[in-house]
Amino acid sequence: MRVSSVLFAVVALVLVISLLCIWFYPSIEDFMASNTMWNGIRDFSLEFNADNIDSLDDLPEIPEEAVLVSIPYLEYRDSELSAIKRFVEGGGTLLLMDDYGYGNGILSYLGLDARFSNRPLLDPLFCYRNQWMPRITDFSPGVQESGVSVLMLNNATALTGVAGSAAIAWSSSASFLDKDESGAREKGEAAGPFAVAAEYRLGRGRLALVADPSIIINTMVGRDDNYAFITYLCRGEDGLKRVLIDRSHLTKTPLDVSKSRLSQAREVIASPPALLGITALIFVVVSRYTLRKGETID
């Protein structure tokens, strides 16, 4: 066997093994659908049959049928903000879930007064295990009718500037915003109740705000009525909408980037023209190899 053939076989084997490792090795980054650990959203993605998008250019042409889940840990460009505005005003639902990210930039672009406070919301009385995990029990009638009575948050913040008619969930009167992050309420720190979720109508669409994206991670989505609350936010008049997760504004490791590109390559290869081309290439290679073998035997 020639050296070039051996070298080609070794390179091909290494490439295949590398691609398999990238595909099957789970992510450990926050809010990644392939992350099966406590901080991933694998369970949420499976329960809601959610799709990941890596660019806002992939938003559907018919916005009414979709919910875009945005966890803005990376800042949006003006062109992306414009795409979001068109999506919502065209009839889509934007589920904006933030605590300490860039959600306020989106709200400002959309012309709303509501803001994420970017301060820890603590509740030493109505909580699970500790004050950093407040329990929410005060909801609007519409949320209550959907079967939600208790919502559990985890290192959440609160909403400010929300009109009374827009708020749909509030923390207790024992809660406070820990501005100096001391873990105790100091003089000058505002006490609750605070809005932690709100809904707005924008054009033909809808904007839902939640001051804690962690309610959809693997360890939280099944707590109390978190799942029912998310279902309420993702439901349209005709039932549950198609859920899209904006993965392009989440922080990623090199493994996550490789997984994303591999997934994109898989979708391209799976298209009919690509499959036809690959089949033709295999046929040509096999035919040439067979002809060469035949000439050697003769």
Q: Structural domain boundaries of the chain?
A: 3-24+255-297, 42-252
With CA atoms as reference, report the closest residue to 223 among 127, 92, 139, 110: 127
- Rounded Cα distance between 112 and 161, Å, is 9
- Distance separating alpha carbons of residues 101 and 236, to the nearest angstrom: 27
C-alpha–C-alpha distance, residues 68 and 268, integer Å: 23
pLDDT digit string, tens, across residues 132-156: 999 999 999 999 999 999 999 999 9
pLDDT value at 275 more than 60: no
Interval 67-119: pLDDT, tens: 999 999 999 999 999 999 999 999 999 999 999 999 999 999 999 999 999 99
Angle of helix 3-24 relative to helix 254-269, nearest 10 degrees, comes to 110
How many CB atoms are located within 10 Å of the residue 244 CB? 23
pLDDT of residue 161: 96
Prior bond of 193 cis (ω within 30°): yes
Number of residues that this document lists for the chain: 298
17 has a pLDDT exceeding 90: no
220, pLDDT greater than 60? yes
Is the pLDDT at 274 greater than 80? The verdict is: no
**Structure-block tokens of residue 266:** 């898989």
pLDDT exceeds 90 at position 204: yes
- Neighbouring CB atoms inside 10 A of 91's CB total 16
Can you name the residues that pair with 177 across neighbouring β-strands?
A: 121
CB neighbours of 49 closer than 8 A, spacing ≥ 6?
A: 243
Q: Express each pLDDT in 54-68 by its tens digit.
A: 999 999 988 999 999
For 94-127, b where at least 16 C-beta lie within 10 A, e where not — what string? bbbbbbebbbbebbeebebebbbbbbbbbbbebb
What are the tokens at 261? 């590109």
pLDDT at 213: 97
Confidence of residue 34 (pLDDT cuts 50, 70, 90): confident
Which CATH class name applies to 42-252?
Answer: alpha beta
Q: Does 263 have pLDDT greater than 70?
A: no
Residues 6+ apart with CB under 8 A from 291: none
Cβ within 8 Å of residue 119, ≥6 positions away: 157, 158, 177, 178, 179
**Residue-level pLDDT at 272:** 61
Residue with tokens 């001051």: 211
Provide the pLDDT for residue 115.
97
